[in-house]
Amino acid sequence: VIDGTGTVGAGLEQGYTLPAEWYGDAEIAQLERERIFARSWQYAGRLDQVREPGQYFATEAGHIPIVVTRDQSGGLNALVNVCRHRGTQVAYGEGRRETLQCPYHAWTYRLDGTLRKAPRSEREQGFDKSEFALVPAQVDVWGPFVFVNPDPDAPPLEDALGDLPGHVERSGVDLAAVRFRQRREWEQEVNWKIALENYLECYHCSVAHPSFSKLIDVDPDSYTLRSSGLVSSQFGPVHESALNGTRKGIPYVPQGAVTQAQYHFIWPNTTVNIDPGAMNISIDRTLPAGLRRSVGTTDCFFGEDVSSETEQAMLDFTAQVANEDQALVEAVQRGLDSGMVPRGRLLLNSEHLIQHFQRLVYDALAS
């Protein structure tokens, strides 16, 4: 039982943060694996990786290896990528194959997960191949994005996304028209929650992201935060002077289909970013890779006619913001690890998305 006295839960309601020790604790991390990552919808990869029969890609849902496949009858599958023999990871990378063969003893699975062949199993009494299919997970698609959920009983993706598809539609980004350009991979020496809490507020933007703040109006009266269900959203208007090119020091000229920045978080670890200017969208996943280590990927999409110069300028901008954040979040981890400030105090007008996130963490672990 966590929080037997109810202190943590009551503190959250008053604007206090989760306890510092939750950001580097093995027991908490184990509960998070079971009660958060094994049960929720998470971005897994791109639809263009599994468009045709035979295509597959290996990915993860939190700590759980998953392989997403397009089987011979056209069905899209997410399968737990763990061999039913002795537990080796079966599929790696991405590509096109008739079957998935485990590298250890060559058990071979069809792309729908059923076990096709287990060498020497015919010598065994009562060995029934139909009992050893790869464990299925849920899979669904939103635009070019494939999501998975290891929990077969979880409510559908649509419920998790809530109003998000509507927000994106109104942003000027047409999900049917964007094309994948590149994937970026990153790692941070922080607990996964620190990385996402940093994403969930822009209180630090004017202090820590000077070029971002020249482009986007981060004033609390302009920049809006909204949470609804499992999605938390930030909407940032562009400075008029950045749009008409009269502002000095802007990272790029944000002219194009998108007139407002949108930064969306989908519980527990997917984030969707739309920057102002040319048609663009990117999607990140943040995976716990240790108590104090997170790894992530960012898949970047642009409208078909967006030039590679514009792409580069916009991605340089994002990379700079990410660099500025990296130093900040790693400093948070060191501070929390000191144990000397057991609870932080949120400013709820500017940081209520963090409160919402921490309630979701708390409710999941305390359930």
Q: In angstroms, give the least distance from the CB of 273 to ligand FES.
A: 38
Stretch that binds ligand FES, among 11-19, 97-105, 159-167, 186-194 (CB under 6 A): 97-105
Tell me the residue type at 209: H
Judged by CB under 6 A, the residue of 22, 37, 107, 357 near ligand FES is 107
127 binds ligand FES (CB under 6 A): no
Binding partner selected for residue 170 from ligand FES, Fe ion, none, CB under the kind-specific 5 to 8 Å limit: none
Segment 48-87, which members bind ligand FES (CB under 6 A)? Answer: 83, 85-86
Measured from the CB atom, the residue of 100 and 173 that comes closer to ligand FES is: 100
Query: In the stretch 296-335, what mask flags binding to Fe ion with x, by CB under 5 A?
Result: -----------------------------x----------
Contact residues for 211 (Cβ-Cβ < 8 A; gap 6+):
249, 250, 251, 317, 320, 321
- Count of residues of this chain found to bind ligand FES when the rule CB under 6 A is applied: 9
Going by C-alpha positions, the residue among 148, 144, 88 that lies closest to residue 299 is: 144
**What is 62-95 written as a DSSP string?**
TTEEEEEEE-TTS-EEEEE-B-TTT--B---SEE
What sign does the dihedral 323-324-325-327 (CA atoms) show?
positive
Measured from the CB atom, the residue of 75 and 119 that comes closer to ligand FES is: 119
d(CA 113, CA 292): 34
Contact residues for 50 (Cβ-Cβ < 8 A; gap 6+):
56, 57, 68, 69, 70, 76, 146
Segment 256-275, which members bind ligand FES (CB under 6 A)? Answer: none
Judged by CB under 6 A, the residue of 68, 102, 205, 360 near ligand FES is 102
For strands 145-149 and 42-46, give the pairing.
Answer: antiparallel
Binding site for Fe ion (CB under 5 A): 325
